[in-house]
Structures are given as structure tokens and as C-alpha cells.
Amino acid sequence: MGRWFLGFCALGLALTATASTAPETRPAPQLLLRIVVMRHGVRSPTSAPGELAPYAHRPWAEWPVAPGMLTSHGAQGMTALGQRYRQSFGDAGLWSGRCGTLDKVVVIADSTPRNRASAAALVQGLAPSCHGHYLALAADQSNPLFHFGESKDAKEDDGAPSSIPTPWPPDALRLLQRVLLDCSGDACLAQAKTAGRKLLVDPAHADDAARAKSLKTAGSLSENLMLEYAQGLPMAQVAWGAGDGGTIGQLITLHNLQFALSKKSMPAAVQAGSNLMAHILATLQQGSGATPVVAPLSDRHAKVVILLGHDTNLANLAGILGLDWHDARQPDDYPPGGALVFDLLDEHGQYTVHVATAMPTLDALRRADFSEEEALVRHTLSLPACPGQSTCPLSVVSHWLGSRLDPQRIEEAIPVMPINMP
């Protein structure tokens, strides 16, 4: 048993031992710290239209930016999200919004261009009249917080499913095949094969390996169609005119399913996400006054830490924490701008952790407007360590995660990230 695990266990015992006895008049819980793990904004597909062409009967939509880059619409949405979060931080008493106290808010972005651009746009919304900044490595450096053991060029949707759903094929996969080919039935499939199209549902290739590859591809293609909707393309262009909100909502469940079987499942989640989760936990522990073994994400002065990552990071954390937040109001479990929120509370003399989601709806993403309350789908999540409870003692969370995370996949230090101006 390594130093890392023993350190977290010792911290858990110390946090338990120092918790004070609840007073007769119980005060309201005090919010001490908030950590927001957020996906970047709306981007173009990571594959060029020519690479996608074999899967569809008609040409794919053209995008105004290179593959995998944040669009101007995506930047507009991130700025609008920054405005929404600035208000929420003020309402929670975490940050006044004054420029002189901006050091209470720390924004850390992955090094990929879309994440750096998303962070810049978010900061503009958070602090429009201040000289705000974000931390990030150079674009040619991989940040192990977001891509532990991966290259900087790894795509967000890489990864074949570890198992195949039954029954096969999922209804959403049949729907996607019909949208792509603009027809259905055996004659349609035969004609498509004759035309050199690649099929997602192919009776001639029905082994598990072929199905896993098909689901991986379907997850990516369904997300590309969702991005057309979220980008605000004319409805006649979204999924070749077939992409109303309901249809996009059905199709994106393929992306959810692919991630559930590849990024969220164990051991993939713990292998990819242990490092990020360990530093999030260390930041919560520091907020309680402890000195963690693993480096926190910020100094003790910060009240808000925002991490601009990827859908893969959200899925990895969901797997590690044993969480599910699917909601029909936002059928995409990992939308652009979607966030997992960790709050550290002083709850009647005990340090506790509250975990929640804030997922922009598809229509809010399409409008790049999050001013309405219902634009973010929120859920308080119950950790398995404290079943049925809205908060969980930090000591319990620390001990529980100490047995779940992989110490071989954790770097105690974090990279030194330069300051970047929007």
C-alpha cells in the first residue's frame, strides 16, 4: 500500500478527528470552495468532411473553422456561460465580481487550441471589465491533468467500447443509419454498399469487433450532427434537414452509450481520470485546512477553480465517482459547456462535499444564451460513499477515493502553467 493511499487515509482520519460538535443552534452550511470541471464550447468535428463522406449519402456541412477548433458561435456561448457563472458565484458569496478580488477565481485550461480559446471566452464573460487570465500549457504540450498518458492530439471520442450492448443494434443506431443514407431497408443497404458507403449496421459484418467499431464510429457521427445543431446551422442543413431537436436528442444517446462502455466504465475511467480526480480531491482537502500529499490546483486564497477540459474528462470522473446524470431535458450527457461541480461546505462544523451537474440544453447552446434558469439542467448527485445523501463528509470521500484511484496513474505535482491573457 503506497504513500499516496496512506496519506489520504491519514487525512480522512484527521478531518474526522477535528470536526467539532454541532452547536444547539445549527447555522446554515457555509460554502467554502467550488471546483467546476467544464467541457469546452461548441467546436467543429474533429474529422474533415472528406473523412466523413463515406458514411453519408450526401455531402456533410462545411464549417467555418478547421477540424476540432472552437467556432465564433462556440466562443460566444462560452462568454455567455461566463456571465452566468459570474452571477452564480456572486449569489453564492464566492466572488464579488470586483476586479481587485479576481485572484479568488482560477481558470485552468487544457492546452488544445479549442480549450485555450474556450477559456479566453469564458474569462471575458466572467470578468469583462478586468484584466482576467487563464492558466494553460503551450499548444504543443500535453497536460497530464486532462490527458494522462495520452498525446496532445488524442481525440475526445477515441476509444472502442469494452462490451457490446444487447439487443443489437440499438434503435438509435438504426435511426442514425437511416439519416446518413436517407433511406432504410435491405435495398437501401445494398445500394449504399454498391456506391461504396460504409455501413454502421451491416449484416455481413456482425461479429463483436465489427460492432464495437461501429458503435465507436456512431458515437462520433452522432456528436457531429449534434454539433451542427448546437452551432446554429440553418435547420435545413442540420443532419440534411432531418435534425430537429427530438431527432438529435435520440441520436446523441449513441455518444452517451459509446462513452458509457469505453470512457466511463472501469478500469478505463480510473486509468485515465485518477490524476485529475486526485488533484481535485487535494484542492478540497486544502480548503478544509489540511495539507494534502498531492498538489492542489490552486493556493488557499482561491474560492473558485474552473477546469476547461473535455467530455472524456467528465465521463472519466463519472465512472470513478459512480455517477449517472442522464436527463431527457438535455439528452447529451456531456454537452459543450457541460460541467461537474464540486462544492466544499462547512456543514454544522463538519467539512462536506456536494456534487452537482450544470448541463446547457441543446436549444440554449444553439442560441448561445444561458440567461434563463432552465438553460442549465442541474442535478445534485449522491455519491455511493454516502447513498441517498446530498452531501458527504470530506473524510469519507477521501477514504473512499483512496481505495478507488490508481496511485500508479497519479503525479503528485501539477505542471507549471503560464498565465495566458484572453
Per-residue pLDDT tens for 315-373? 999 999 999 999 999 999 999 999 999 999 999 899 999 999 999 999 999 999 999 99
Q: Return the H-helix or E-strand segment holding 214.
A: helix 208-230
pLDDT reading at 157 higher than 80: no
Contact present, 173 and 214 (Cβ < 8 Å): yes
Is 165 within the bounds of a domain?
no
Q: What's the mean per-residue pLDDT of the chain?
A: 92
- Whether 159 has a pLDDT exceeding 80, the answer reads no
| Average pLDDT of span 374-401 | 98
Residues 229 and 251 both lie in one domain: yes
> Which tops the pLDDT comparison, 165 or 269?
269
Q: Same structural domain for residues 91 and 66? A: yes
Same domain, 151 and 258: no
In 15-124 the beta strands, taken as DSSP E runs, fall at 30-39, 105-109
Q: How confident is the model at residue 14 (pLDDT cuts 50, 70, 90)?
A: low
Asked if pLDDT for residue 63 goes beyond 70, the answer is yes
The pLDDT of residue 18 is above 60: no
| Whole-number pLDDT of residue 20 | 47
Q: Flag whether pLDDT at 2 surpasses 70.
A: no
Confidence of residue 12 (pLDDT cuts 50, 70, 90): low
58 exposure class (CB count in 10 Å sphere: 0-12, 13-18, 19+): exposed
Q: Which of 340, 341, 329 is nearest to 365 (CA)?
A: 329
Average confidence (pLDDT) over 139-152: 88
Q: Judge whether 327 lies within some domain.
A: yes
Neighbours of 20 (CB within 10 A): 9
* Residue that terminates a domain, selected from 231, 262, 293: 262
pLDDT value for 202: 87
Helices 113-126 and 72-91 sit at what angle, rounded to 10 degrees? 50
292 within some domain: yes
Q: Are residues 248 and 288 in the same domain?
A: no
Same domain, 343 and 267: yes
**273 with 250, same domain?**
no
* 281-304 residue pLDDT tens: 999 999 999 999 999 999 999 999
Looking at this protein, which amino acid is placed at residue 327? Answer: D
Claim to verify: residue 363 and residue 279 sit in the same structural domain: yes
Residues 40 and 11 occupy one common structural domain: yes
Task: Answer yes or no: are the C-beta atoms of 235 and 244 closer than 8 Å.
Answer: yes
Whether residues 113 and 9 fall in one domain:
yes
**What is the reported pLDDT for 11?**
60
Residues 120 and 216 in one domain: no
Q: Is residue 295 part of a domain?
A: yes
Residue 409 within a domain: no
| Residues 106 and 177 occupy one common structural domain | no
Please indicate, yes or no, if residue 7 is contained in any of the structural domains. yes
Which of 262, 291, 318 is at the close of a domain? Answer: 262
The band of 26, judged by pLDDT with boundaries at 50, 70 and 90, is: confident
Residue 332 lies in a domain: yes
Q: What is the CATH number of the domain that holds 125?
A: 3.40.50.1240
Residues 6+ apart with CB under 8 A from 42: 70, 71, 73, 74, 77, 227, 230, 231, 336, 337, 365
Tell whether 141 is covered by a domain: yes
Give the model's confidence band at 17: pLDDT under 50 very low, under 70 low, under 90 confident, else very high: very low
Cα-trace Rg, the chain:
22
Overall average pLDDT of the 17-30 stretch? 64
* pLDDT of the residue at 27: 80
262, 288, 303 - which closes a domain: 262
Domain count for the chain, please give it. 2
- Coil vs helix vs strand at 323: coil
Helices (H), 231-298: 245-251, 253-262, 268-287
Q: Is the pLDDT of residue 155 over 90?
A: no
276 lies in the same domain as 322: yes
| Per-residue pLDDT band at 158 (split at 50, 70, 90) | low
pTM above 0.95, yes or no: no
**Spatial contact of 26 and 417, defined as CB atoms under 8 Å apart:** no
Between 53 and 28, the higher pLDDT residue: 53
Q: What pLDDT does 24 receive?
A: 59
The whole-number pLDDT of residue 71 equals 98
Confidence (pLDDT) at 1: 43
Q: What is the span of the domain harbouring residue 343?
A: 3-20+30-157+263-393
pLDDT of 307 higher than 80: yes
